[in-house]
Amino acid sequence: MQKLVSFLALVGLVLATGCSKSANTPSGSADQSAGKKLTIALMPKSKGNAYFISCKQGADEAAKELGLELLFDGPTEPDPAKQNEIVENWIALGVDGIAVACENKEGISTALRKAKQKGIKVLTYDSDAAPDAREFFVNQATPEGIGYTLMDEAARLTGGEGEFVIITASLTAANMNEWRKNIEARLAEKYPKMKLMVVRPCDDLKDKAQSETTTLLSAYPNLKLVMAICSPAVPGAAEAVKQAGKAGTVKVIGLGLPGENRRYVKDGVTQSVILWKTVDLGYLTVQATAALAKGDLKPGANTFKSGRLGQMDIKGDNVLLGKPFIFNKDNIDQFNF
Amino acid sequence: MSWLRRSARLKKEWRHDPEALMLKRHFRELSVAAALGILLLFLAVAAPAFYQAQPLLSLLTREAPTLVVACGMALVIISRQIDISVGSQFAVCSVCAGLLAALKWPPFLVLPASIAIGALMGAINGTLVAGLRLPSIVVTLATMVTWREGLRWLRQGEFVNLPDGVQWLGLSQANGQRALIITALVVLVLMALAMKHLSAGRFVHAVGSDAEAARLAGIRPQLVTFSTFVLIGAFTGFAAMMNIAQSPQVDPKSGTGLELKTIAAVVVGGVAISGGRGTLWGVFAGLLLLACISPALTHLHIEAYWEKAIQGAIILLAVVADGLRTRSEKR
């Protein structure tokens, strides 16, 4: 009986990791001897994820511009242990720079420190490691950037007055609370005629977000806008508004992915979906990693010139991607993730 | 001493009066229904905006799949087992059904496929529990994690976008919602009648009260256990189809927490967690009561922090009531 339980656990393990074996060996050849071509290695949280595929698109663009070799590899599913393995492989290959979107802050930091000791330039992007494990973090969006953009967009759509509500993932999620703080700060500072009625959690589930929004629409009949700050909540809120027959009267905005919201944006239920340009995030990351490896970018710098993006701000050890990007009816078809 | 005599007489009458007996036997179901009634009455006074046709219809439609799974869960718990993998099964069935629908399979083919996938997962649980006599909590914990993680690996959290026409199965929104609610109620009524009047239903009760006695009476307890797991799997597959029929896309995380929701509804509805006792009517009342808490709090402008605490308190109350009842019965 115990054997069977452990067998089951094993089946689970194999299922979970089995097919990511192919990710073990880095693709592409890091041929160092072929001239002075830089080799930059870029790791997503997981390889198949549309979000990171679109990051890679920008990374490829930057690699082509700079004439460097780009390695792109990561776990097939988000897996901190696999990320470590890949970093170890890259150290053995002797790449010039590594940029990682970290699945687990503590888990990856040791491997990254080791890479740093070997003289490899290390950056993080999308989600950070421990600060001493990397030189820079390419920060796609500050809490301030997200909070202010959401609030400004809400005010723009409602003409700066009226009631609105927020759907969050949970009342305890640190990043969401940080965004909320900035939304409320912006609200207090600039939009006295707008009123935040309530913040409801949806447990990061689309279906619960829909039920919550349905109730909110009946409990607050004067509602002008629903702001969803976790990605599954945006389509959930939109479905509720659509079912209530209030599409257009009650606006929906939120932080999410274009693909999940395309239908509602096109139908005019959701007005704006806010996210950064993932292509630019990949582009900037590779630009920064290359500049660091070449010695053009040094710790302590305040700005950094990043190809087609121009001058980017650096705050401390954070390279900032700048203001978030707003997807709407007019541009959402240009983004396929 | 006259009061003592009187109470003894009352007790006697209680025993012989069929109406009073009914009241006593279904005390738990009735008390949950009463609690629900009080809550609904209170809302009618304090927050009349709760009673609007469209939002209520939408909310009830969202609970319809949960009711179907809860019917299966009631059977499993009455037979003295538990299945905590339903949430993961629900997600797997939803995504599979969604992918098939996206391949332009017509709904009347997607539905049996979804049921079959659910039944297959149920059969795996059933084989391990009944065939190898493993504790159901361990088996379904393992399958819960396996299905959920397998799905995460496959889908990476990506939504399945459904083609037009899947939502509401071509009906208008209001009719689609009514159809889903009626479907769930039909399942409930059929199952409640089957549990009472079919020998299979009585077998489930018998196995849950005393498997050994049931075996001696000629019932095959392992077969009954296996069947309940297959049934809850099939019900979950059916519920998954009811879920994708009300949205234009499938969240691969859908069904998260479904096991807790349904077990809570079953326990609050008066089904003994130790098996052998309970009715589906109670489960229905329990589910409605728990489902009303969240919208009620929103309408009463009470902070969301309280929601889980109140739901937890209701479950605790139900379990304590059960415990007290079992103790007094043993005496």
Q: Which two tokens stand for residue B224?
A: 């009954």
- Of A228 and B152, the structure prediction assigns the larger pLDDT to A228
The whole model's pTM is what?
0.82
Looking at the fold, whether A151 and A256 belong to one and the same domain comes out as yes
Contact A180, B227 (CB under 8 A): no
pLDDT, average across residues A183-201: 96
Domain locations along chain B? 53-255
Query: Residue A204 has what pLDDT?
Result: 87
Alpha carbon of A215: minimum distance to chain B alpha carbons (Å)? 6
Candidates B55, B142, B153; nearest CB to A77: B153
Taking the C-alpha atoms of residue A264 and residue B91, their distance in angstroms, rounded to an integer, is 23
Cβ contacts of B9 within 8 Å, gap of 6 or more? none
Domain containing residue A285? 30-140+278-321
Taking the C-alpha atoms of residue B297 and residue B308, their distance in angstroms, rounded to an integer, is 11
Q: Which residue numbers in chain B have pLDDT < 50?
A: 1
Q: Which two tokens stand for residue B244?
A: 């994708």
Residue A336 lies in a domain: no
Candidates B133, B149, B251; nearest CB to A12: B149
Looking at the fold, whether A42 and A155 belong to one and the same domain comes out as no
pLDDT digits (tens, 9 = 90+) for A10-43: 444 444 444 443 334 343 344 444 457 899 999 9
Least confident window among A46-50, A227-231, B116-120, B162-166: A46-50
Query: Residue A1 has what pLDDT?
Result: 46
Residue A212 lies in a domain: yes
Alpha carbon of B251: minimum distance to chain A alpha carbons (Å)? 7
Neighbours of A81 (CB within 10 A): 12
pLDDT digits (tens, 9 = 90+) for B112-161: 999 999 999 999 999 999 999 999 999 999 999 999 989 987 887 788 99
Q: How many independent structural domains does chain A possess?
A: 2
Taking the C-alpha atoms of residue B189 and residue B269, their distance in angstroms, rounded to an integer, is 15
Looking at the fold, whether A64 and A172 belong to one and the same domain comes out as no
End-to-end CA distance of chain B: 23
Looking at the fold, whether A71 and A86 belong to one and the same domain comes out as yes
Looking at the fold, whether A151 and A228 belong to one and the same domain comes out as yes
Q: Does B146 touch chain A (CB under 8 A)?
A: yes
Looking at the fold, whether A165 and A133 belong to one and the same domain comes out as no
pLDDT digits (tens, 9 = 90+) for A83-112: 999 999 999 999 999 999 988 888 899 999
Candidates B145, B254, B295; nearest CB to A12: B145
A165, A211, A213, A264, best to mutate vs chain B, most B CBs in 10 Å: A211
**A170 has pLDDT over 90:** no
Q: Which helix (H) or strand (E) holds A224?
A: strand A223-228
Cβ contacts of B80 within 8 Å, gap of 6 or more? B207, B208, B211, B274, B275, B276
Q: Does A9 touch chain B (CB under 8 A)?
A: yes
Taking the C-alpha atoms of residue B293 and residue B44, their distance in angstroms, rounded to an integer, is 14
Q: Do B58 and A240 make contact, defined as CB atoms within 8 angstroms?
A: yes
Query: Residue B12 has what pLDDT?
Result: 53
Closest C-alpha among A207, A231, A205 to residue B61: A207
Taking the C-alpha atoms of residue B138 and residue A198, their distance in angstroms, rounded to an integer, is 40
Sheet holding A121-125, edge to edge: A69-72, A39-43, A97-100, A121-125, A136-139, A318-320, A310-315, A303-306
CATH assignment of the domain containing A109: 3.40.50.2300
Residue A199 lies in a domain: yes
Looking at the fold, whether A136 and A155 belong to one and the same domain comes out as no
End-to-end CA distance of chain A: 45
Residue A308 lies in a domain: yes
Contact A136, A126 (CB under 8 A): no
pLDDT digits (tens, 9 = 90+) for B281-312: 999 999 999 999 999 999 999 988 898 899 99
Q: Do A211 and B62 make contact, defined as CB atoms within 8 angstroms?
A: yes
Candidates A9, A199, A211; nearest CB to B142: A9
Q: What is the widest separation between alpha-carbon atoms in chain A?
A: 69
Q: Do B257 and A235 make contact, defined as CB atoms within 8 angstroms?
A: no
